[in-house]
Structure 1
Amino acid sequence: MSEFPVLETERLVMRRVTSADFADMFLYLSDEKVMRHVGLPAFQTIEEVRDEVDWYESIYREETGIRFGISLKESNKVIGSCGFLNREAKHFRADIGYELSSHYWGTGIAIEAMMAVIQYGFQHLQLERIQALIEPDNIPSQRLVEKRGFIKEGLLRHYEYGAGKFDDLYMYSLLKGDQSS
């Protein structure tokens, strides 16, 4: 396995998270507004953050995904994460996932991070298709992916079970050939 990549944008450094980031991550992962559409309850302990980071490490090690901590260049503080999961290398596809501290909603940081991750996926992971699975009532997330050029393909009924309930999810996709940037 190669060295964990670092992605830089105008305002962000997207990097591997470490135990030094747990307290910053707990701030947004314990926020019910942030976690409402993630399929997990708001975190209650730092141990849950450790488990989340262990999952980031396992998907990277198994090459089924990669999750970047979104950190601000000026402070190196992790304010969210973005990356791929459920990567199917033989089918050249992966799901994109993300969450961002509610303090930074509406600032353009989510799209900035997403664009860097998408570029990484198409260029370095040789993805042909990037999927986004989004709850029907998560309008801001739908707008975010639509702004980036994702196409809504349909509704997957009771597709996931999380936080004690079954969730319907819209399937969005972006193909390598759809890129206009």
Structure 2
Amino acid sequence: MIILETGRLRLRTMNLDDAQFYLDLTNDPAWIKNIGDKGLKTIEAARESLQNGPIAMQQKLGFSLYVVEQRVDSAPTGLCGLIKRDSLEDVDIGYAFLPQFRGQGYAREAAAAVLQYGRERFAFKKLAAITSPANHASSRLLEELGFTLEKLTVLKGETRETRLYGYHYPAAT
């Protein structure tokens, strides 16, 4: 199901046919370094992770991570969307892109659309975002989108420090 469209991109819900793409993305060295190793090594494991993660979250909460595709050819470029983690008080925005699609403004375009969607569809007053302290590109993007660094923290169940950002939507006029 298509959730959002921008000038160059389409964001849609994930399905089990996305398993190979998800497997490739979660095994990308940048994903492992900045997000963590999900331990997915097979298509079957990727399908199970999709079913129990983004697909289940979409069914339960009405939002999740979405596949970001190029509108011109429907090629999957990455993920971007909203996540409710047990370890965070607020819903957070997340994104990751395959190496060949980084540095082209796709993350900014998709994340800006998701920010607007969060306000219009769910009336969120605040969103969170987390990054690894070494992920300077992600931190820079969050700050350009209007997020502010709230603190360095160790999330429940984690061992490494994480940068926690917050985005407060402007008051409606």
Question: Which category describes the TM-score, using the shorter chain as reference length?
Answer: 0.7 to 0.9
The residue matched to 1:6 in structure 2 has which SS? strand
Contact 1:80 1:99 in 2 (8 A): yes
Q: Shift in Å at residue 33 of structure 1?
A: 1.9
| Identity of matched residues, % | 25
Comparing 35-44 and 128-137, the one that deviates more: 35-44
Contact 2:26 2:37 in 1 (8 A): no
Residues 172 and 27 of structure 1: is their aligned pair in 2 closer, same or farther, counting only changes over 3 Å?
same
What pairs up with 1:14-29 in 2 under 5 angstroms?
14-29=11-26
**2:97 equivalent to 1:100:** yes
Partner of 1:125: 122
Match of residue 169, structure 1, among 138, 162, 165: 162
The residue matched to 1:167 in structure 2 has which SS? coil
Partner of 2:65: 67
Residues 87 and 41 of structure 1: is their aligned pair in 2 closer, same or farther, counting only changes over 3 Å?
closer
Match of residue 155, structure 2, among 152, 159, 173: 159
Q: Shift in Å at residue 79 of structure 1?
A: 2.0
TM-score, reference length from structure 2: 0.87
Q: Shift in Å at residue 149 of structure 1?
A: 1.1
Residues 42 and 20 of structure 1: is their aligned pair in 2 closer, same or farther, counting only changes over 3 Å?
same
Contact 2:34 2:135 in 1 (8 A): yes
Alignment length, in residue pairs?
Answer: 169
The residue matched to 1:62 in structure 2 has which SS? helix
Q: Shift in Å at residue 65 of structure 1?
A: 4.1
Contact 2:14 2:50 in 1 (8 A): yes
| Amino acid in structure 1 at the alignment position of 2:92 | D
Structure 1 residues without counterparts, runs of 5 or longer: none
CA distance in 1, matches of 2:124, 2:37: 27
Partner of 2:83: 85
Contact 2:119 2:169 in 1 (8 A): yes
Contact 1:63 1:87 in 2 (8 A): no
TM-score, reference length from structure 1: 0.83
| Amino acid in structure 1 at the alignment position of 2:60 | E
Q: Shift in Å at residue 100 of structure 1?
A: 0.7
CA distance in 2, matches of 1:146, 1:135: 14
Q: Shift in Å at residue 5 of structure 1?
A: 5.0
Residues 69 and 139 of structure 1: is their aligned pair in 2 closer, same or farther, counting only changes over 3 Å?
same
Contact 1:135 1:169 in 2 (8 A): yes
Q: Shift in Å at residue 172 of structure 1?
A: 0.7
CA distance in 2, matches of 1:26, 1:143: 27
